[in-house]
A and B are shown apart, each in its own frame.
Chain A
Amino acid sequence: MKKANLILFLFFTSVTFAQQDSIVQAMILDSADISAEKEYNKGIDFFKKNEYSSALECFSAAIQFKPGFDKAIYNRGLTYFEMLKYVEAVKDMESVIEIIPSGDAYYWKAKSQEALGEIEEAIESYGAAVSLDKRNEKAYYNRGVLKFTKGDYEGAVADFSLAIDLNKSYTYAYNDRASAKRKLGDLDGAIKDYQLAIMIDNSLAFIHNNLGSAKRKNGDLTGAIQDYSKAISLDPKYTIAYNNRGSAKYDAENYDEALRDFDKAVQLDPKYAYAYNNRAATKFKLKDYAGSIEDCTEAIKINPNYGYAYSNRGNAKELLRDDSGACEDWKKAVELGVEIAKNHIGDCK
């Protein structure tokens, strides 16, 4: 029992950050088939050492010795999951479910389906998991994430709330519920949830960044800049936060300081097309149209389908009186789906 628990603990730690729940339910105490038990326990040892191929062999041998050996099938499924063989993992979890339906088997089936990109199926499996185990906060949380991914923000808010009901200190759930509320346009609600997440754990730079973005969207540029700065102080290499703080300063028409943030962002990540594009917009505002064109060109070099960079470059070219160049860029932006550029090409020949 002790051995198995240890393996499980290590297993969950290795699978994903913050996974702590138990999924292998029991040790083999009364098996009729000793060989199967031996192989099973060997498998757990290998798994513990991250030797998944050997673990897989052992669990498969155990199942061969004892067909219908649900725990061996379950552990093999987990092993497959670790080996990124999600199709096999799904199959094993389905086999387990056929033998003894369990919340854990559904949970890992859902995780495997999620990894395979089968979002609807995964949501269904998480649903089955929580119907069998209503205390599975992670299943609610993960389902919320999937609903968020597919744009069902209301569904996501509901699931994150269920997760929070089960775990009042669930920092991630607060953060993600805030993000879902933000997507729904409930910026005040989002800000409140981000702040609650920070009250639980104020060491996570990304939550400060997210809070900054919600405030920026809400028009509180000073507050946004403070939050981005906090994120940067927690993680001085947080490129996204520099890019965002630059944008907040841009919105506040503090273009010189915005420029410095975008400079830092591209210094940290010379392939960060957004920061080049945003720096180009800032240079435009500072009437450095040549510099603006240069940065847009760099952004386009990194991402040749970057429609907004074409649109912005067209604007800068217009002010350098390169009408044909501007039109060429705006037309390309339209081709790449930038709606606003349609307004600009009216006077192009």
Chain B
Amino acid sequence: MRYIILLLSLTGLTAFSFAQNVEFDKNNFKDDKDGFKEAKENLKEGNARYEMGTIFHKDAIPFFEAANEFNPNNAELNYKLGKCYLSSIYKYKALPCLEKAIKLNSSVDNEVFYHLGKAYHLAMRWDDAITSYSKYQKTAMSNQDPQAMEELQLLISQCYNGKEIVKNPIRVFIDNLGKNINTKFNEYGGVISADENVIVFTARRPNSTGGKIDPGLNEHFEDLYIAYRDENGNWGVAENLGSQVNSKDHDAVAAISADGQRFIVYQGAKNNGDLFESILTGDEWSKPESLGKNINTDYHEPSACYSPDGRTMYFVSEKPGGFGKHDIYVSQLDEKGRWGKPENIGSTVNTKYDEDGVFMHPDGKTLYFGSQGHESMGGFDVFKTVYDESTQTWGKPINIGYPVNTSDDDVFFVLSASGKHGYYTSVNLNGGLRDLYMITFLGPEKPLVLNNEDNLIASVTAPIEEVVVAPTIEVKEAQLTLLKGIISDALTGEKLQADIEIVDNAANKVIATFKSNSSTGKYLVSLPAGKNYGIAVKKEGYLFHSENFDIPNTAAFQEVEKDIELKMLAVGNKIVLKNIFFDLDKATLRPESTAELERLTKLMNDVPSLKIELGGHTDSRGSDNYNQQLSERRAKAVVDYLTSKKGISPDRLKWAGYGETQLVNECSNGVKCTDDQHQENRRTEFKVLSI
């Protein structure tokens, strides 16, 4: 018994001595005077940086770490080191220091429970965080600090949000984008083209333009980098976008257009931070130009994005008059190509806290943004809101879920057009700083099916299988079609820069215009579901090319590759007019044909000597005679429209019906073909007779 008591006493002593605060006093380190001297020096250096303010806390870390290694049982040092970690990218290291600081001396600082709460919060130890915040709340109340009280309320509510959100994590794979993108330096804020083949991101690397070190952070200045994915899906080595794009100050990418032909860059040194645009011509990026006075103000404008048609811009500004600090605004491109007067997108999306990192999905209606408000689980979380065209309102923002959102700041998130991949920034726990990652969304867990059977009927030996009830079907939201390809000269194969005009056929309205790249001929357009699109590819000296995409609301995501060969305006060349529509079995032009007929009219007016033949063609279904007559009537209807409605001289227009005599595929009489194959044969063509 005496032995047990002695043992317990010793154990108690050990515990006591472990928990005892050890001051940096030479009397406590008589056996290691040199070590003490060095530790004191480190402490002094660390304190000097610590006292300079929060942004220098990270620089104090190496000194404090060294001092702490010598004397790990000093409450104040553990507290300061914990605080410094919280201000660095290694926030997760703060918790043990702060826990130890409190263990050594629970009144080491008035704010220790606030910081401990933050550390628990970051570690997603929700209940511990709430307890710590609540303890600090008492201090804040006694100090009558309303700002602190409000912040605590927010933090505590974030913990409650977090508790709920992590219960249902979303299923994802997270992959580092690899060594061609990420280095041991900071890479972040990546933006991608809709087809995920181009990435532009911000990095702080030694080869930063101007080569300067940011005195505030003791890191290289930010520059923009670009990388392309090869045909095997691997990222090529990222390259600095050069001094044409990058200034000697901070340059951070904010957005890239769906086709990867233009991007928005944030330049911190100008006007408290403004937004600029750079455009790719051939293989050269233009010098960034300000987005104009309607976007940029004397306040902070850190983030923006394009709508898929390029005619709307969503951007973030800290200017007064919003609902909180940074708010999201929207601006439309005017007829002169300038960004118009912006409007705050409203209190459904903007909160009294900060919003940032705005990104419009290529579907044209789903806006992703970072917010400290709504139901964030800590710092900024990424939310999405969907625009309802019918009510012209934004839906309630939804937290996109854990683990994309964490208890830390999650702001910069972009999503591929397919919705399958997201791109974001995170600290590389394997020793790097911040790196770029790709998230692959797996969707809700795919149901597993178990099979069972019973001897339901007593007199029958064979068991009876239990009926498997099919689980609920996952309803996929309406998606979009990505149309991409290369535009070239039909004869020479030369890659062409051409205008791509997207028309809403039902509304007879041009909704977007794009250009293909002059050196690669590449183009990409995003066509959100729910419209009948006419697409016209035009270039001077060439016949225009037309395509039609009727994409119902229920259409799933698809990526269509279509290389387009433009034909010179030369005698004998023929073009299919894919956006001329007739009523079923009639020769009555449907209103959706208007835009195509306008294009044809313009061509006739632009080239007054041009004479053409309009040819009608049918598929092989129905009698040959009927088809012949129908094709003639339809060709004539187009000619009649151009002469009577548009004033084109009849002697410049001929019409001819070809019935089913010039099929473009094997679907002749009796051959079984799909509707799409028959559709290819039903067409209106025009042929150049003379110029």
Could you list which residues of chain A lie within 8 angstroms of chain B, going by C-beta atoms?
A: 16-18, 141-142, 145, 148-149, 171-172, 175-176, 179, 182, 204, 206-207, 209-210, 213, 240, 243-244, 247, 250, 274, 277-278, 281, 284-285, 308, 311-312, 314-315, 318-319, 321, 338-340, 343-344, 346-347
Within 446-505 of B, Cβ neighbours of A (below 8 Å) are at 446-460, 463-464, 466, 468, 470-471, 473-474, 476
10 contacts between A and B (CB under 8 A): A16-B459, A210-B456, A247-B450, A274-B452, A314-B446, A315-B446, A318-B442, A339-B470, A340-B471, A343-B473
A149 → chain B closest CB, angstroms: 8
* Interchain CB contact under 8 A, A247 and B452: yes
A277/B446 in contact, CB under 8 A: no
Bound: A240/B464 CA distance, A: 11
Q: Closest residue to A216 on the B side, CB-wise?
A: B452
Cα A148 to Cα B458 in complex, Å, equals: 12
Question: Which residue in chain A gives the minimum CB-CB distance to B441?
Answer: A347
**Chain A: interface secondary structure?**
helix
Given contacts A17-B459, A340-B471, 19 further A-B contacts (CB under 8 A): A141-B459, A145-B460, A175-B457, A175-B458, A209-B455, A210-B455, A244-B452, A278-B450, A281-B448, A312-B449, A315-B448, A318-B442, A319-B442, A321-B173, A339-B470, A340-B470, A340-B473, A343-B446, A347-B418
Give A34 to B73 CA distance when docked, in angstroms. Answer: 117
Roughly how many angstroms separate A344 CA and B458 CA in the complex, as a whole number? 39
Chain B residues with Cβ under 8 A from A321's Cβ? Answer: 173
Q: Once the chains are docked, how many angstroms separate the CA of A312 from the CA of B418?
A: 25
Interface majority SS on B: helix, strand, loop or mixed?
A: loop
How far apart are the CA atoms of A209 and B466 in the complex, in Å? 13
A243 adjacent to B457 (CB under 8 Å): no
Which 8 A-B pairs rank lowest in CB-CB distance, beginning with the nearest?
Answer: A172-B458, A179-B456, A206-B455, A281-B448, A308-B449, A274-B451, A175-B458, A278-B450
Q: Which residues of B contact A319 (CB under 8 A)?
A: 442
Closest to B419 in A: A347
Question: A18 vs B458: C-alpha distance in the bound complex, in angstroms?
Answer: 11
Interface hub of B456, B460, B466 (most chain A Cβ within 10 A): B456
- A-side contacts of B473, CB under 8 Å: 340, 343
User: Are the C-beta atoms of B453 and A240 separated by less than 8 Å?
Assistant: yes
Determine whether the beta carbon of A171 is less than 8 Å from that of B448. no
Which listed residue (B442, B455, B457, B468) contacts A240, Cβ 8 A? B455
User: Which residue of A has the minimal Cβ distance to B449?
Assistant: A308
> Is B571 in contact with chain A by the CB < 8 A criterion?
no
Q: Given A240, A278, A308, A347, which contacts B463 in the complex, CB threshold below 8 Å?
A: A240
Contact with A along B264-286 (1 / 0, CB 8 A): 00000000000000000000000
A214 to chain B, nearest CB (A): 9
Q: Tell me, in angstroms, the Cα distance from A209 to B455 when the chains sit together.
A: 8
Q: Chain B's nearest CB lies how many Å from the CB of A43?
A: 28
- The interface residues of chain A lying within 8 Å CB-to-CB of B248 are none
Q: Is the CB of A213 within 8 A of B452?
A: yes
Closest to A210 in B: B454
> Bound state CA distance, A311 and B420, in angstroms?
21
User: Please, how many angstroms separate the alpha-carbon atoms of A347 and B455 in the complex?
Assistant: 40
- Chain B, residue nearest A250 (CB): B450
Cβ A213 vs Cβ B457 within 8 A: no
Are A346 and B452 within 8 A (Cβ)?
no
Residues in A whose Cβ lies below 8 Å from that of B173? 321
Residue from B442, B453, B474 with most neighbouring chain A CB atoms (10 Å): B453
When the two chains form the complex, which single residue of A142, A179, A209, A318 contacts B446, counting CB atoms closer than 8 Å?
A318
Distance in Å from the Cβ of A336 to the closest Cβ of chain B? 12
B458's closest neighbor in chain A, by CB? Answer: A172
Residue of B nearest to A342 (CB): B473
